[in-house]
Amino acid sequence: MSDAFRPRNPTGTTLRAVAEVVGATTPTAVPDDLRVTGVAVEDGEVRPGDLFVAMPGAHTHGVRFVPAALSAGAVAVLTDAAGAEALAASTVPILVVPSPRAVLGRTAAVVFGTSAPSATLFGVTGTNGKTSSVYLLDAVMRRLGWRTALTSTAERHVGDRVIASRLTTPEASELHGFLAAALEHGADGVALEISAQALSRHRVDGVVVDVAGFTNLSHDHLDEYADLDAYLAAKALLFRPDRSRRAVVSLDSAAGARIAASAEVPLTTITSRPDTAADWHVTVLEQRPDATRFRLDGPGGATVTTEVPLLGVHMAANTGLAIVMLAASGVPFPDLVRAVGARLDVDVPGRMADASAATGPRVFVDFAHTPDAFEKSLIAMRAFTAGPLVMVVGADGDKDPTKRAGMGEVGARHADVVIVADHHPRHEDPDAIRAAILAGACGAGTDTTILEIPDPPTAIRAALRHAGADGAVYWAGPGLTDYRIIGDEHVPYSSYEDAGVALAEAGWGVGVEA
């Protein structure tokens, strides 16, 4: 059984009510009193009383898994005409619609009772900064005394219960189950990380957030979208009345102005760029290895000065976005000033995890995977690094290959040494992945030292030698993952833990915890 969040005491609704909401036909008998208490799209997720949704997939139709779903306790099936034909001999109650995926969100909302949630919902989209922003939202809400829940690329939280995530934004059935669990917990505020894919593929259907936030847009996911315009158009779907009630849009990337111009809901703008006009401005006052201090200024003389244990101007911008999103939801700004205080403590899993020892080079292991994210982190590290700045970088196999040259180029423009290593080659030739990164680095036209060291343990040890006692190492990509994906195999390996071992071997002592 899946460990996805579900309400512990679901009430559900009748199957006939579901049929009416989604306009389904019923080729088999549907008892008037048959209730469904959950929705699942995978047989391994099914719980007793569920409605199993059998959809066509890339390789097979979900109707294949109906017997397993029924054995697990499903009491009815929602499918399309092809699925209904395959189930013609079955006596299980069946609902038929042209496209099950297109009605999955509405189905889950009526079954889980999440159509009109009592909690304030926040949704954040953008290329980079989504995860950090939802954790920052959660941190401020907790400071306000709210009960909270969040869903992100890294984890899902309901109160203090935490489970790992499989997708940045879960399928609609899982998302509504999560929301129902949050409401059952008594959540006052819920922060949702919303990907472009989630908007394109109906994963957030049936959800209207009170405040939508936009961080930025940069090169990513062009293996799934035709170009950056199509990628931006997918994210812009969040800023319509059927998805959100109001918005806060960062103008730190050029795409922000396009989102602001096309948004169909009331919006507020924010920027960390001193030359850009916006309603709110973030001004960085100090950058240290352990924190970034900044001031947020807004309309009517609203201002707050605080710091976060996160590195870089972009993290100050993400914090400002979170604060302004809460203000846009109706929280009085003086309450936010008191909640944030002089320092807002927050832990964002895998983002610039500090693996440094008490002495020696600073080492940060990051989950970033785009050229823009690399650039922002390297600039942040340069602000406090006296010696050489060394970057260890690899790329995911079976993912957007068009950004790999940009990864290398950014490294060569901002680091003194770039070491290209393997990360998750998956089913691709790792030599080819490295070659693309190296081509970008070598083509940057800088005097940066560029090395190819495929083996990650060897690469980090070489990086420490090049950094020396007063330098720093930026290990881009792995974050706190404890495996590498080679082919179909998950090979145990923690970059964060190995960095600590390598520091100890070099005589710098044991690394600190993230």
Domain containing 418: what range?
353-505
Q: Is residue 347 part of a domain?
A: no
Tell me the average pLDDT across 417-440.
Answer: 96
What does the pLDDT read at residue 168? 60
Q: Is residue 159 part of a domain?
A: yes
Same domain, 302 and 188: yes
The 10 Å CB-count burial string (b at 16+, else e) for 307-333 is: bbbbbbbbbbbbbbbbbbbbbbbebeb
Among 345, 324, 316, which residue's Cα sits nearest to residue 143? Answer: 345
Same domain, 226 and 363: no
Count of other CB atoms within 10 angstroms of residue 483: 13
Same domain, 85 and 125: no
Tell me the average pLDDT across 224-248.
Answer: 90
Write the pLDDT tens digit of every residue in 357-377.
999 999 999 988 889 889 989
Q: Is residue 2 part of a domain?
A: no
**Cα gap 331→323, rounded to integer Å:** 10
Same domain, 388 and 278: no
Q: Is residue 7 part of a domain?
A: no
Same domain, 87 and 144: no
Write the pLDDT tens digit of every residue in 61-76.
999 999 999 999 999 9
Same domain, 235 and 270: yes
* Mean of pLDDT over the chain: 93
Helices (H), 293-370: 313-328, 333-340
| Last-in-domain residue among 284, 307, 340 | 340
Write the pLDDT tens digit of every residue in 179-200.
999 999 999 999 999 998 889 8
**Cα gap 470→479, rounded to integer Å:** 23
CATH of the domain at 132: 3.40.1190.10
Same domain, 472 and 432: yes
Q: Is residue 8 part of a domain?
A: no
Is pTM, for the whole model, over 0.85?
A: yes
Same domain, 58 and 126: no
Q: Is residue 348 part of a domain?
A: no
Provide the domain count of the chain.
Answer: 3
Same domain, 151 and 267: yes
What does the pLDDT read at residue 163? 85
Q: Is residue 5 part of a domain?
A: no
Same domain, 301 and 209: yes
Write the pLDDT tens digit of every residue in 442-493.
999 999 999 999 999 999 999 999 999 999 999 998 888 899 999 999 999 9
Q: Is residue 4 part of a domain?
A: no
CATH of the domain at 417: 3.90.190.20
| Last-in-domain residue among 58, 90, 109 | 109
| Last-in-domain residue among 109, 132, 164 | 109
Same domain, 328 and 369: no
Write the pLDDT tens digit of every residue in 258-308.
999 999 999 999 999 999 999 999 999 999 989 999 999 999 999 999 999
Sign of the C-alpha dihedral computed for residues 473, 477, 483 and 488 taken in this order = negative
pLDDT at 513 over 50: no
Same domain, 35 and 131: no
